[in-house]
Amino acid sequence: MRPLFYLGCFLLLAAFGDAHYFAVKKGNEKYRAGDFAAAEKHYAEARQNNDSETARYDLGAALYQQKKYGEAAKLFGPDAESKTPVAGKSALGYADAQNELGGDLLKKGNTDAARQNLEGAIAAYRKTLLADPAKIEAKHNMEIALKRLADLKDKEQKNEKQEQNGKDKNGKDKQPDKGDNKEAQAQPNGGEPRPGPGGMTKEQADQILANLARREETDKRGTRQQKMQEREAEKDW
């Protein structure tokens, strides 16, 4: 009876292996054809048979293509911190998903959540570039995240000034500046112009990180100055 038991287990495992293989194969076919919803379905089936890092990455990629950035980030995140073969791709996928989610939240006016996601994306891009300065896609997308974060901070500063001023010279409540909606009309990463082929040296990556550090220091100084001005205004009262 024991040999038959082992034979049954072997056949069962082989059946699961075949099901996983064919699900991945079908998912790849649908993904290449641009049918990302169908690809998601097949990748999810493959993951049920074998919850591997590759299955999670494939499913995350299909979700990302459907602009389901929050779900994609949850799949990319754990493997981005691992030492698996897809760690590098998962780290970049996680950063891109955070970046796009932050952009979407910014368009909807949810600045707090947008800031959190954009700052997370920038940190992930920085880590990716420190590990591999030649990843030009990470450099390009980090610049997009930095631009979005800068736009967010500009909007917050303008809103604060409007709140401090209260009303306009006619005694009416001030309306938001229509020019502040530039980011809402920006295209997601898929619509951004991509750079041509090429690499990036370590010096270029270091320059990007140095620029980021200078921006962060400038923002901190601006915040400190604003707080000092607010305290001085309170003393005048």
Domain extents in the chain? 69-160+181-237
| Contact yes or no for 96/141 (Cβ under 8 A) | yes
| Contact yes or no for 103/182 (Cβ under 8 A) | no
The pLDDT value given to residue 191? 37
| Contact yes or no for 116/84 (Cβ under 8 A) | no
The pLDDT value given to residue 221? 73
The pLDDT value given to residue 196? 34
Q: Report d(CA 71, CA 80) in Å as an integer.
A: 15
| Contact yes or no for 118/99 (Cβ under 8 A) | yes
Q: Report d(CA 145, CA 120) in Å as an integer.
A: 10
Q: Report d(CA 27, CA 23) in Å as an integer.
A: 6
Condensed to tens digits (0 to 9), the pLDDT of residues 21-59 reads: 889 999 999 999 999 999 999 999 999 988 889 999 999
Condensed to tens digits (0 to 9), the pLDDT of residues 173-204 reads: 555 554 444 333 333 343 333 333 334 455 65
Q: Report d(CA 78, CA 90) in Å as an integer.
A: 8
> Which amino acid belongs to residue 217?
E
| Contact yes or no for 151/74 (Cβ under 8 A) | no
The structure's pTM equals 0.64
The pLDDT value given to residue 203? 62
Inter-CA distances, 229 with 1, 14, 16, 39, 119, Å: 85, 71, 67, 55, 27
The pLDDT value given to residue 31? 94
SS3 218: helix
Q: Which residues, other chains included, contact 90 with Cβ-Cβ below 8 Å and sequence gap of 6+?
A: 53, 56, 57, 60, 76, 77, 79, 80, 82, 84
Distance of CA 77 to the CA centre of its chain: 10
The pLDDT value given to residue 201? 53
Question: What residues in the chain have per-residue pLDDT under 50?
Answer: 1-16, 168-171, 178-200, 235, 237
The pLDDT value given to residue 165? 78
